[in-house]
Structure 1
Amino acid sequence: MSTLVVFESYWGNTETVARAVADGIGGPVEVVGVADAPTPLPHDVDLLVVGGPTHAFGMTRATTRRDAVKQGGRPGHEETGIREWLAELAPVPGLDVATFDTRASSVRRLPGSAARGAARSVSHGHVGRVVGTESFYVEDTPGPLLDGEVERARAWGGTLRA
C-alpha cells in the first residue's frame, strides 16, 4: 500500500496537519504541496489524502488564495490549489481518498468546508472512493492550531491506515 498526502497551506497549519496525518498512517507515505503534486497519480498509490484550508465556506479559489498571500500567507501557489488539482485527476480504480481541512475555530458551526468540497469533487469526478473527511481547527486565520489538533490528526491518520 502506498499513500500520497497532498496539501495546500499558506501559514503552515495545513502542512503540519498533513504531516501528522502521514505519521499516523505510517508505511510508505509521500507528503507534497499541491504545487508539486503529480498528475496523473503514480500507479502504486492506493490511498490519497488531500487537505487544504477552508476559505469562504469551501475550497480555495484563485481570488481567496491571492487574498491569503496579501494577508501574510506564504506565496507560491496562488493559481493552483486543491480544487484545480483534483479537477485534473482521472478516475483511479480501487483508489481510497480521504479529505481534510483547517478552519478557524470561531466558525466551527458554520456551514461549508474545504474537506467536504474536496470530497464532493472526488465523488463527482469519480476519482476514487471517499473513505473519510475531517476538519482541524486553528485559533485564527494565521493559526496556531488549537491544542490537541496535531495529535488528533495523527490519530485520524491511524484510522485511515485501517
Structure 2
Amino acid sequence: MSTLVVHESHWGNTRQVAEAIAEGLLAGAAGPVTVVDVGAAPSPLPADVDLLVVGGPTHAFSMSRATTRQDAHRQGAEPGHEAVGIREWLGSLPVGEVRPAVATFDTRVTQVRRLPGSAARAAAKLAGRHHVGEVVDTASFYVDDSPGPLADGELDRARSWGLALASRTR
C-alpha cells in the first residue's frame, strides 16, 4: 500500500500533524508514505496511491480560501501558501482510474472546538463530489491559537489516528 499525505500549513501546526500521521501510518506497516505540501502535490494522483490523506487548517468554518490565506499571511503566517490550498488542489484533481481511500483532517483552535464547520468535513465532501475516492475517516486536531502551539497530546493523537488508518485500509 502506498500513501500520499497532502497538507496545507500556514503556521507549521498542520504540517506537524501530517508528519505525525505519517509516522503512525509507517508504524502500522502501511507501506511507503510520502508527505507533501499542497503547493507541490501531484495532479493527477500517481497510479500507486492506495490511501490519500488530506489536511488543512479550518478557516472561517471550512477549508481556506484565497482571502483567508492572505489574511493568515498578513497576520504573520509562513509566506508562499497564499495561492493554492487543499480546496483548489482537490477541485483540480481529474477523475481517473486512481480512486484511493481518502482520509481528511484539519487543525482548528481549541476555543472553537464545539462550533460548526470543519475543513476536514468540507474536504471530505469535496473529495466525494469530485470522485477522488471513498472517504474512510475524518479527524480534527487542536491548536491553542492560530499560530500555535498544538494542544497537549495532539501529535500523539495524530500518530494514533495514522496507525488506525493503516490498520483500516490494509
State whether residues 45 and 98 of structure 2, in contact with CA within 8 Å, keep that contact through their aligned partners in structure 1: no
1:101 corresponds to which of 87, 103, 106: 106
Which residue matches 1:46?
A: 50
Deviation at 1:90, TM superposition (A): 2.3
Cα distance between partner residues in 2 of 1:108 and 1:74: 24
After superposition, residues 10-25 of structure 1 pair within 5 angstroms as 10-25=10-25
In structure 1, give the amino acid aligned to 2:62.
G
Which residue matches 2:115?
A: 110
Could you list the per-position Cα deviations for residues 47-73 of structure 1 after superposition, in whole angstroms to 9, with x for gaps in the alignment?
Answer: 000000000000000000000000000
Deviation at 1:10, TM superposition (A): 0.7
Cα distance between partner residues in 2 of 1:47 and 1:134: 15
DSSP-derived class of the 1:72 partner:
coil
Gap regions ≥5 residues in structure 2: none
Which residue matches 2:140?
A: 135
Which residue matches 1:160?
A: 165
In structure 2, give the amino acid aligned to 1:58.
S
State whether residues 7 and 37 of structure 2, in contact with CA within 8 Å, keep that contact through their aligned partners in structure 1: yes
Could you list the per-position Cα deviations for residues 93-117 of structure 1 after superposition, in whole angstroms to 9, with x for gaps in the alignment?
Answer: 5410000000000000000000000
2:82 corresponds to which of 74, 78, 82: 78
Which residue matches 1:35?
A: 39
Cα distance between partner residues in 2 of 1:57 and 1:94: 27
Cα distance between partner residues in 2 of 1:94 and 1:52: 21
- The CA RMSD measured in Å over matched residues stands at 0.8
Gap regions ≥5 residues in structure 1: none
Deviation at 1:79, TM superposition (A): 1.2
Moved runs in structure 1, 4+ residues, more than 2 A? 90-94
In structure 1, give the amino acid aligned to 2:15.
E
Cα distance between partner residues in 2 of 1:28 and 1:93: 17
Superposition TM-score, scaled by structure 2 size: 0.93
Superposition TM-score, scaled by structure 1 size: 0.98
Give aligned pairs, total: 162
DSSP-derived class of the 1:19 partner:
helix
In structure 1, give the amino acid aligned to 2:10.
Y
In structure 2, give the amino acid aligned to 1:67.
D
Cα distance between partner residues in 2 of 1:128 and 1:94: 4
